[in-house]
Chain A
Amino acid sequence: MKRVGVFLCWCGSNIAGVVDMDRLQAEVERMPGVVHVEQNKYTCSDPGQESIRRAIREHRLQRVVVAACSPRMHERTFRAMMRTAGLNPYLLEMANLREHCSWVHRDIDEATAKAVDLVRRAVFKVRLARPLQSGKVPITRRALVLGGGIAGIQAALDLADFGIPVVLVESSPSLGGRMAQLDKTFPTLDCSSCILTPKMVEVATHPSIRLLTYSEVESVEGYVGNFKVLVRRKARSVDEQRCTGCGECLSKCPAKVPSEFDLGLGTRGAIYVPFPQAVPNVPVIDRQSCLYFTRGRCRICQRACPAGAIDYQQEDRLESYEVGAIVVATGYDQFDPAAYGEYAYRASPNVITGLEFERLVSSTGPTGGRILTPGGGREPQRVVFIKCVGSRDEQRGASYCSKTCCMYVAKQAILLKEKLPRCEVYVFYMDVRAAGKDYEEFYLRAREMGVQYVRGRVARVFPHGDRLRIRAEDTLIGRRLELEADLVVLASAMVPRPDARQVARKLGIAANQHGFFSEAHPKLRPVETHTAGIFLAGAAQGPKDIPDSVAQAGAAASKAAALLSRQEMETEPVVAEVNEHWCSGCLRCARVCPYNAISEREIRVRTAAGVRTKTVATVNPGLCQGCGACAVACRDGAMNLAGFADQQVLAEVDALCL
């Protein structure tokens, strides 16, 4: 039986004033395994700790119980003391005689009887304690940033400025993301590219950032501090090293296809850069549209290229990177308003989404910044905005508010009023939500400029001659409205990217019911995920505007930097453990683990029938946070939680019930 020493703390009169310490000592001395009991006035004081160290030496104690205050107060103190006394810190157990007893009970007999139980609980538990070692995991000082939009750019730059090497993976040919598609930004109306492009260039030229555009993450393995990421570099068909970005090839390409960047409102060649300020400024050949790739002849771009950079033979390459942390900034997509048949999206070219309007109003857009109806190429006389298309509508869209639409509609209305002062602008809304610095003022400015805000749902939009007819209701005055317009702009919701769930699976992080990635705690850990070492930034986590995305990116970067600033990481030793002999390999434990810390592995076992392989669960101590849900899910009792083992908890129950 292990030799247990028990140290009863008076805490001045805090404990000793209510608990009869001598009676307690007499009872404790009779407990099985207890070989030494002593009382101290203040056990946490230096002399108090020293007397424990002395008793450990003199009485050859193997386990220590400190009966004092709450372990939340002084467990660290006494664990550190254990280390200096040459005992494993986890061979200590505290009994909470102050917060849970002397401070809440008055009757000396009752409090003393309870104190006896509480100390017995600690004695019974500590007798079954095993020394636990915190593991050390080396940390790879490199970060992966997933996504090259404003959030990803900001995170990469912040990390790089900490001096941390960064790998930035972007799936499209250029950095920039959604922000590059925008014309102006609210509430300041500064030009989106003007503030974005310098950051893009900074990323491309930063010595600590390795930029991988036109690339996708194939798989992620490992755990915090030690991820292995496989990246697919899609074949660009243009040699990045040789290309000078002169643009000769672009104008010569005979193919014309709708431009993704312009959301189909403009065209591009088969060899193209998505937009003039693209970074890197290296074209890519879209093999589906390229005449050479589809028909085997053309090669015009190859002839046109003065640098000899065109390489039709290029193939996808897989590159592997080891990183210590991952920032996920994969952004959002816009809701497809086709679900709202009554708004005639697609049925009429003059019904467009908010993002499409951005391209229409942008000076780099298909119209060169002139606002013309896509159907007729005329300047609109009247424009109608419809808000909450796909937002706040559980039936056809999503239940949440997309948060940005109120402001960008105000912005777009202002831009319209500035460019076409005589154009009438109507905004149909459910509510106007303008919380944010200078936002309300910005919205009021739109109204002051003559934008008509009508509260109500639009019932129908339908073509009427070469204009559109809008049928709606003004719910404030309870009147039906019918009006004609040349252009209808739908403020469509922000939704997760279509591959969000796939990405979540690859990374082993959670996504909510909509597909936005889940943070570890909505209030206290807003940029962490449940998977240690993976952080979130931008609209991939939920609808956000630019300032919020940038702020979160900075937060994610500093969290990642804090992690990567260390050489190695101590893992918490209170983690789940598998008894492989008992494990049935059903992996029920893995299904309840919030951290993806449990996986399976094959082991070889000797049985009567000879050696066979069997599947067992295995815990990654780097990922496990020690909640113990798996231990309860395991019927065999093969999964256990170190420090809170089944046999320990049962012993505690037994001790309290004697």
Chain B
Amino acid sequence: MSVREGWRPKIVAFCCNWCSYAGADLAGTSRIPYPASVRIIRVPCSGRVNPVFVVRALQRGADGVLVAGCHPGDCHYSTGNLYARRRLLVTRRLLAYMGIEPERLRLCWVSASEGERFAKVIEEMTAVLEKLGPVQQLREEGPP
């Protein structure tokens, strides 16, 4: 597997508006540096994340997908993150079964006060993806 020169992993992160997006904001206001690999999509709740979004990201060129929501019990909508946990657990196993490294999908709980934790999750995941390299399986042929 040859990795393009200068390749850096790209993480698409779905962050719930109430906890994790605010947690990422806090990392910013606290000036906690983390790798520039992550790109955040704001969703109202981790329960809004359709597993197909995950595969779509991997197909289009993301190397990893992070879904971040409120800690269980703290969901703004009370149960959204618990539905998300089930769906994404199954998603991750199915990805692995179909030959995509399961580490490329991660679900984590980041509260609005956990800026530090958000930065740490990004660091960890970036390190994991750097080891895995880019997604080879779902790459599509580009124009000539």
A and B touch in the complex (CB under 8 A): yes
**Is A121 in contact with B41, judged by CB distance below 8 angstroms?**
yes
Contact of B28 among A71, A103, A521, A522 (CB under 8 A): A103
Q: Is the CB of B41 within 8 A of A652?
A: yes
Which of A167-175, A351-359, A602-610, A622-630 participates in binding chain B? A622-630
Given A98-B28, A104-B27, A632-B50: A657 and B60 within 8 A (CB)?
A: yes
A-side contacts of B34, CB under 8 Å = 104
Are A646 and B50 closer than 8 Å at their CB atoms? yes
Alpha-carbon distance between A117 and B10 when the two chains are bound, in angstroms: 11
Chain B residues numbered 10-56 whose CB sits less than 8 Å from any CB in chain A? 10, 12, 17, 21-22, 24-25, 27-29, 31-34, 36, 39-45, 47-50, 53, 56
Please tell me if the beta carbons of A653 and B25 are within 8 angstroms of each other in the complex: no
CB contact list, A620-655 vs B, under 8 A = 625-629, 631-633, 641, 644, 646, 649-650, 652-654
Chain A nearest CB from B130 CB (Å) reads 14
Cα(A104)–Cα(B118), bound, Å: 11
A104-B28 in contact given A72-B21, A657-B57 (Cβ < 8 Å): yes
Does B61 lie at the interface of the complex (its beta carbon under 8 Å from any beta carbon of A)? yes
Given contacts A594-B78, A629-B77, A650-B56, contact A656 B47 (CB under 8 A): no
B27–chain A nearest beta-carbon distance, Å = 6
Rounded to whole angstroms, the CA-CA distance of A650 and B21 in the bound complex is 19
Judge if A592 is at the interface, Cβ distance under 8 Å.
yes
Q: CB < 8 Å: which of B31, B41, B42, B77 contacts A625? A: B77
Q: In the complex, A631→B73 CA distance in Å?
A: 21
Contact A100 B25 (CB under 8 A): yes
B68 within 8 A of A: no
A100, A110, A114, A644: the one contacting B24 at CB < 8 Å is A100
The reply to whether the CB of B62 lies closer than 8 angstroms to some CB of chain A is yes
**Residue contact B39 to A626, C-beta cutoff 8 Å:** no
Q: Are A653 and B28 in contact (CB under 8 A)?
A: no
Q: Is the CB of A641 within 8 A of B56?
A: no
Q: Is A658 located at the chain interface by the 8 A CB criterion?
A: yes
- Chain A, Cβ-Cβ closest to B42: A71
The answer to whether A105 and B33 touch across the interface, beta carbons within 8 angstroms, is yes
Q: Are A628 and B48 in contact (CB under 8 A)?
A: yes
Q: In chain B, what residue has the closest Cβ to A632?
A: B50
A96 at the interface (CB under 8 A from B): yes
Q: Knowing A628-B48, A641-B44, A654-B60 are in contact, say whether A99-B39 is a contact too (CB < 8 A).
A: no
| CB of B79 within 8 Å of the partner chain | yes
B6–chain A nearest beta-carbon distance, Å? 11
Within 8 A of A (CB), among B63-121: 73, 76-80, 83, 87, 119
Q: Please judge, given known A-B contacts A628-B43, A657-B61, A658-B61, whether A107 and B36 are in contact too, CB under 8 Å.
A: yes
User: Are B78 and A521 in contact (CB-based, < 8 A)?
Assistant: yes
Is A233 in the interface zone, CB < 8 Å from B? no
Return chain A residues, CB-CB under 8 Å to B57.
653, 656-657
Chain A contributes a number of interface residues (CB within 8 A of B) equal to 47
Contacts of A73 in B (CB 8 A): 25
- Given that A627-B77, A646-B50 are known contacts, is A656 also in contact with B39, CB under 8 Å in the complex? yes
Cβ of A104 and Cβ of B119 under 8 Å apart? yes
Bound Cα distance A107, B36 (Å): 9
The answer on a CB contact under 8 Å between A626 and B43 is no
With an 8 Å Cβ cutoff, the count of chain B residues facing the other chain is 42
Option from B31, B60, B73 in Cβ contact (under 8 Å) with A653 = B60
CA distance A121 to B40 in the complex (A): 9
Given A631-B50, A649-B43, A656-B39, do A594 and B87 touch, yes or no (CB 8 Å)? no
Residue A106 at the B interface, CB < 8 A?
yes
**Cross-chain contact A118 with B39 (CB below 8 angstroms):** yes
Q: Are A626 and B44 in contact (CB under 8 A)?
A: yes
Q: Is A70 interfacial (CB 8 A cutoff)?
A: yes
In the complex, what distance in Å separates the CA atom of A453 from the CA atom of B41?
A: 60
Residue among A72, A101, A105, A632 making CB contact with B48, cutoff 8 Å: A632
CB distance from A658 to the nearest CB of B (A): 7
Given contacts A70-B28, A521-B78, contact A110 B53 (CB under 8 A): no
Interface centre among B24, B34, B60, B78 (most CB of A within 10 A): B78
B51's nearest neighbour on chain A, judged by CB, is A632
Q: How far is the CB of B56 from chain A (nearest CB, A)?
A: 5
Q: Given the complex, which residues of B lie within 8 Å of A633, measured CB to CB?
A: 83
A72 to B39, CA, bound (A): 17
**Residues of B contacting A117 with CB < 8 Å?**
39
Partner of A96, one of B40, B43, B77: B40
How close is B85's CB to chain A, nearest CB, in angstroms?
12
Question: A530 at the A/B interface (Cβ < 8 Å)?
Answer: yes
- How far is the CB of A407 from the nearest CB of chain B, in Å? 29
| B45 and A656 contact, CB distance less than 8 A | no
- The distance from the CB of A137 to the nearest CB of chain B, in whole angstroms, is 21
Q: Are A641 and B48 in contact (CB under 8 A)?
A: yes
Residues of B within 8 A of A629 (CB): 45, 47-48, 77, 79-80, 83
Look across to chain B and name the residue whose beta carbon is closest to the beta carbon of A592. B83
Per-residue interface assignment for chain A, residues 57 to 83, with 1 indicating a CB less than 8 Å from any chain B CB and 0 otherwise = 000000000000011110000000000
Name which residue of chain B comes closest to A654, CB basis: B60
Residues of A within 8 A of B87 (CB): 632
A72-B25, A98-B28, A106-B33 known; A627 vs B40 contact (CB < 8 Å): no
> Is A632 a contact of B43 with CB atoms below 8 Å?
no
* Residues in A whose Cβ lies below 8 Å from that of B80: 594, 627-629
Q: Which residues of A contact B27 (CB under 8 A)?
A: 99, 104
- Interface contact B22-A72, CB-CB below 8 Å: yes
Residue in B closest to A595 when the chains form the complex, CB atoms? B77
The answer to the question of A472 belonging to the interface, with a C-beta cut-off of 8 Å to chain B, is no
Inter-subunit contact A657/B44 (CB<8 Å)? no
* In contact, A653 and B41 (Cβ under 8 angstroms): yes
- For B31, the closest partner residue in chain A by CB is A103
Determine if B12 and A653 form an interchain contact, defined as CB atoms under 8 angstroms apart: yes
Given the interface pairs A111-B36, A657-B57, the reply to whether A99 lies near B49 with Cβ below 8 Å is no
Give the CA-CA distance A530 to B39 in the complex, in Å.
32
Q: Which residues of A, 505-548, contact B by the 8 Å Cβ criterion? A: 520-522, 530
In angstroms, Cα B75 to Cα A410, docked, is 40
User: Does A632 lie within 8 Å of B47, measured CB to CB?
Assistant: yes
- Known A72-B22, A653-B60: A628·B45 in contact at CB below 8 Å: yes
Interface membership of A574, Cβ < 8 A: yes
Tell me the nearest residue of chain A to B48, going by C-beta. A628
Quick one: closest A residue to B30, CB to CB?
A: A103
- Across the interface, name the chain A residue whose C-beta is closest to B12: A656
Question: How far apart sit A73 and B61, CA to CA, in the bound complex (Å)?
Answer: 31
B39 — which chain A residues lie within 8 A by C-beta? 114, 117-118, 121, 656
Contact of A100 with B40 in the complex, beta carbons under 8 Å: yes
**C-alpha spacing A520/B74, complex, angstroms:** 11
A–B complex contacts, Cβ < 8 Å, 5 sampled:
A70-B21, A72-B21, A105-B36, A644-B44, A656-B62
User: What 7 A-B pairs come out closest when comparing CB atoms?
Assistant: A99-B28, A628-B48, A657-B60, A627-B77, A657-B61, A110-B36, A103-B28
Given A100-B24, A631-B50: 4 more A-B contacts, CB < 8 Å: A100-B28, A592-B83, A633-B83, A658-B61
Residue positions of B touching A, CB distance < 8 A: 8, 10, 12, 17, 21-22, 24-25, 27-29, 31-34, 36, 39-45, 47-50, 53, 56-57, 60-62, 73, 76-80, 83, 87, 119
